[in-house]
Structure 1
Amino acid sequence: MIVMSGVTVGALNLNNQVGVYITLILPIAVSCIYFDKKLTLFATGVQIIITIVTNYPRITTNPFYSDDPIGNYIAVTAGQFIETFILAVIFIWIAKRTRNILNKLTNSEKQSLVYINQLQDIMNRSKNASETLSTSVKQLLQAIEQTTISNENINHNADYASIGCEQNLRYIENANTTVTNISVALESISTKTQTLSEISQDTSAATEENEKIINQAISYMEEIELSTKQNKNIINSLSLRSEEIGRIMEIITGITEQTNLLALNAAIESARAGEHGKGFAVVAGEIKQLAEKSSTAAKDISNLISQIREDTTKSVNSIDQSSVTIKSGIDLVKNVGRSFEKLKKLQETSNQEIQEITKSSNQTSKYGREISEIISNTKSITSKSLNQIQSIASDTSVQSTVMQEILSSFNVIDHTADDLLNLSKSVSL
């Protein structure tokens, strides 16, 4: 930039019509901007060289210096050299002075920057501390609010618990009365159960006696069934004999018919014999009468046998029906016997259960007395708990009041922390 300004000044210096003497200091003035002594000396040298080079054509071609161009050139150049040297000294002094001032300003600025950095660090720390304090205060406020809410809830819960304890106390008193009544009822049940156990034992003995009677009845019914079967067999044998007699009577009837036929033939033959056959005819007549009587007797016997067969059949049917009835009776008696056996087993089971119930009733009565004692103790403990809960409710109420005061104090601290934080932010900005 200095060389370019020097070249520009030199170019202008070549023109006689342009007055550029004042512009000769332009390179030096430009170098002075940088406040550098060496740069100012370099600009002075450049300016002197340009002045020496450009003054020669400017002066030698100028009619004003035509009488002695070389002398004028030397004189003008020497004057400009002196001026340039003086200006260089002045500008170097100005640059040095300005440089010292700038150095002092720079040092002061650096020191100020250090102070500013320290202050900025303090502000940052103060800001961080303010933010931390603000955050902590807000968190503490939230914790206090939560604690206050919790205390209020505890207070409400303590009130509810107090009411619940009072209700439980009433319930326990009612339960104590109820358990006492239950204990009395259980003792009565135990006594009645003992009586029922004795009755059950008597019933079991009667059931065993009835079972013996049923077994005897079954034995008698089985003997009757056996006798009925024997009678049936006898009647069946009699029926078979009647059938045999019937067949014999059929033979006799056949013989009688043959006898009648022979008597008829004898009568016919005696009629043919005439007088000689009269005696034979009488015999034939007697034989016929005997045959007719035999036939009549055979018919009567046959009718009687038929009647006996019918009666035998009816007897067999009746015996069969009796056998069925007897068998049904035996089955019924056996079923009754089995029912009595089941009843006996049930009675035994019932007796065992009653004995167990008696034991359980006695044990339950004992438990009832123990429960009554437990309820009495629970009543005492509940009364103490009620007093403690009421005391807790009172303490919680006081604590809630204290927490409200602490909350108010921390609200003030929170506002102070916010103000400090805002101040730190404004100082940082």
Structure 2
Amino acid sequence: MRVSTFTRLVALLLSTASLVLVAVLWWASKTLVSLEQQNTHYGALKNDIIIGLSGDIEDYLSTGDAQNLVDAKQRIETIQNQYLPSLSAQLQRQLNTRLQVLLDGIDGDYRALGKLSGNETALLDNALRQMAGSATSLINYAQQAPQDKRGSASRYIELAGDYYQGVLDLSLATQALYQGYSADKQVAVEQAVKQLNALAAEIENTENLGVMSEVDEDELFFGAEPEDLAGDIKAEIRSWPKRYPRDLQSTIEQGQIHQQGIMQLRTEVSSVVDVVIDAEQQLRAAQNVLKQRLLVVFGIAIGLLFILAAAVYWLQRSQVLNPLRQLRDGFATLIESNELNPIVSKNSETEVGEIADYFNQLIERQRNEVRERQEMLRVINEFMSDMSDNLQHIRSGAEQTSAHASHSQTLLGEVQRIGDDVNEVNSQVADNAQHTLTTMAQSLGFADAMLAASSTTEQRIEQGMQSLNQLLAGVEDVSKVLDVINTIAEQTNLLALNAAIESARAGEHGRGFAVVADEVRKLAQQTQASLGDIHAQLNSLSANSQRVSQHIGELATQAQAQTDNAEELKRNAEDISQSAEHANQVAAQATDYAHRQRDMLIEFERSMQDMQTQISASDTRVKDIHLSLQQQMQSIRASLGLDNQSV
């Protein structure tokens, strides 16, 4: 492509891109203005509902002013007429349904909430004031008592003070219960009411003070008589505590109804607010999608501009800049490096291609003259290159050989160190084997002594068993003799008894014989008692002997096991002694081999050092030859004037 054609094409593309960009900017501006208007309209709707409508409802609930409810109704109608038509159909249906429900409630049940929004405890406050007033009236009544009733008047004043304190306690308990219900608070209220009823009963039973009411003359004309003021006061004091639980229950129920209505109203307002907030989120999501589309369109437009710029740059580079650079590089190469290379032109029909063609014809003439001189230099250059390569190979081989020799010396040092370690280990093994032999000899002596001791122990145990068996046999013989003596004692006792009987029959003549018979009988009884003790001791001795026999049997078993263990220990000691002797012999042989290996390694290391010296000298000579060859090649090139020309 010629430069003139390229210039006209670029102007046309830039004009088209400008028109497209203007159209995209106009569409984006119009879309953003529409989004801004939509946000403004919806923000006004949101503020009117969340701030205006909710504020009117809350003001109505807090003050009870019906004008706030009227303002809320007018605001709902304004929202339905002004804002809803511009919203989407789905959002319009949702808001219209909830606003209509709220509007119906404002015209109906919700108007009653304002009437109850004042003092919800007015009924209870009135009852408490009446009870406190009755206590005050009772005090005034007592203060008007005659002089002879001062004692009862003091009692009235005391009861009135207690009644007034009970009213205060009831007021505090009621306030706590109304603020938050709990069983303990309910019990506190009931206790306060019960206390007031008890005080009212005590006041009722107290005698009147004789303070009479005043009667007008007109009432006297109709037969009216003065009455004691205590009757009405006592009736009020008695009636108010009884009525108070009903008033409290009624107040609590009305408060619950009021709170339920308020909660329902706030729930409906909250549902409208929730719809508005959800719709706002949906609107923002839709706007975000639209904004993303705008960004995509802008991205596409900008991308197309970048693509257009890249295409223009590529065309300009390929059709104008590259040919000019090739022409410039050709001139620079000819002047600086004296290399006669032709300039390559992709399109010879352009202005730059024509210039390059004429320039290449001039270069071709110069190359023909240089080609003859290069042919002369080629043979010499090849010979010098081969010589340089051979020297380089020789030098590389010498360096590798030197490196291997150094590594071998390092390995020899490691082998020598390992040999020294092996010698030391062999010495330790030999010492340990000799020590093991000595220790095993001692162990064999200990094992023989243990076997002899075990054999002696078994013999003594056997002798002990024989002696114990003889003892048991003697115990049995003694038991038999004791049985015979016991039989004789029993017969002696019977004979003494018979003798006593016969002496009794003999009367006075047999008295001395009776004394002797009685003594004989006592001796026989003592003999039987002693025989019983001896027999018990023999039984205990026999039982202990049996246990000793059992222990001796167990001891014999353990002695036999000890003998077996001693024999096994002796066998193990003999095996270990043989192994230690063999290890000592092997360690001695290994030490001899290690000494021989060390002598051989020292001789090999000396040979490696001599070879390293020879390799270093050869490497130095090769470096000198290679440097001299390079200097000669550079001198030949300089003399022919071919230092910067290619072959």
TM-score (normalised: structure 1)? 0.46
Structure of higher CA gyration radius:
1
- Which structure exhibits the higher relative contact order, with contacts defined as CA atoms closer than 8 Å and separated by 6 or more residues? 1
Task: Choose between structure 1 and 2: higher helix proportion.
Answer: 1
TM-score (normalised: structure 2)? 0.33
